[in-house]
Structure formats: structure tokens, C-alpha cells
Amino acid sequence: MRSSSAAMWFVAGVLACVTASVWPDGRFVLRAEGDYGLPDTALRIPSKGGSPLLECAMEWAVDLGTVAVDAKGLPKPSQRCVDNDPSCDHDPTPGNCTFWVWACAGASDSRLACPAHAVTSSTVLGPKTSAPGFKGLAGLALAQALLSADPTDGSGEICSALVAIDVPLKKSVGIKTITSLAAGGADKDSLTLACKPQ
């Protein structure tokens, strides 16, 4: 994976070139701090929503321990975490699940026979930053963390800083994004993260 220090970040539609030293992780997360790296690439979730050949333009890396898969062995667009399960809940507070999420753009994905794409921009469609409570906070954190790979080459994956998304017990948050490709077309994705009781 390429370092996030080389990423071109799209924040609320404004292009800005930043490095981790300029924008520390605390700027992109709700509570977590520090550089935790990425979970195994097998945990990338393409989140169905368009042509399989475009699905890998944007994928989510979620530190879940175990990813729920469909009959074809592909990650489901809805994932869950049991409250206080340390493999997926990254806070010790009962009644709340903290998901660790990274937005990753521009990679190939052999599971989908999807080639790497040059990406020009990514936008969060939901949750809206104006939504009340935890959903609005999640929308703000995601909007700050979305990135674009170098639009001229499509030579590999670039991932955002860690985003910690808090979801109250028995609640869920739906993430919707659209990622535009330099060659034309777009990858529309949706991912639901739910916090379940023990």
C-alpha cells in the first residue's frame, strides 16, 4: 500500500494535498489516535452497488476480525459487530461499538476480476453531515477522510487515515459514496455497520 502521506485528499469537494505530519490522525477520527496501519487486505469490502469491473475503485477496509460473506464468498454490504467484542469493537464502553474504517481507492481486486482504476474524486452521499447525533459525526469524519488516487496513473491503492465510527447499541449507520474514475464512469457504494448486543 502507498503511504497516506502521498495521498491527494478530497475534503468536502475541495482538493488539498496534505501529509500525516500536517493533518495528524486526530483530525480524521472521532476518538482513536495514532497510526494503527491497515487490517489485512482480505478484509476489504467492495460494497456492491454498480458494475463488478468498477467496484474496486473504492473499497472499505474495516477491522472486523471476521467479515460476513455471501454465498460467493464476497463480503456483504452489511456488516455487524457485537458490543464489547475486541475483534471489532475498538472501545471498552458498553452500549457502543467503535468501528475502525479506512477508505481505499484505486486498487485491483482479483475477487471481482476488477482492474485498478485512476480515481479523480470521492464524495460521501450519506450519512449527511447535518444528520443529528452519531450519524452526523460519522458523515463528517468520512467526508474528511475520503481520498483520491493520483488521477494520472491508477497504479495502486491509496488509503485514508483511520476513521473511528461510533455506533450505539442496536443502531446502525449506512455509508453511501460515489467515486469518479478518470476514464469515465463511477463506482457507487453502500455499506451498513451495525452494533449488536451480546
Rounded Cα distance, 162 and 14, in Å: 20
159 neighbors 60 (Cβ within 8 angstroms): no
**Degrees to nearest 5, angle at CA 144 with 143 and 147:** 85
Question: In which band, very low, low, confident or very high, does the pLDDT at 122 lie, cut at 50, 70 and 90?
Answer: confident
Residue 135 pLDDT > 90? yes
Specify the DSSP element, H or E, that contains 143. Answer: helix 133-145
Q: What percent of the chain has pLDDT over 90?
A: 30
Quick one: cell of 18? 496534505
- What is the three-class DSSP state of 20? coil
Task: Write out the residue range of the structural domain in which residue 52 sits.
Answer: 4-196
Averaged confidence pLDDT in the chain:
76
By DSSP bridging, strand 147-148 and strand 8-11 are: antiparallel
25 neighbors 34 (Cβ within 8 angstroms): yes
The number of distinct structural domains making up the chain is 1
37-66 confidence digits (pLDDT tens): 666 666 788 876 667 888 888 888 899 988
9-40 confidence digits (pLDDT tens): 332 222 222 222 222 333 233 333 345 666 66
DSSP letter at 80 equals E
Position of cell 488539498? 16
pLDDT at 154: 58
**Degrees to nearest 5, angle at CA 41 with 47 and 20:** 95
Whole-angstrom CA distances from 7 to 42, 58, 171, 188 are 22, 14, 32, 21
Who wins on pLDDT, 50 or 112? Answer: 112
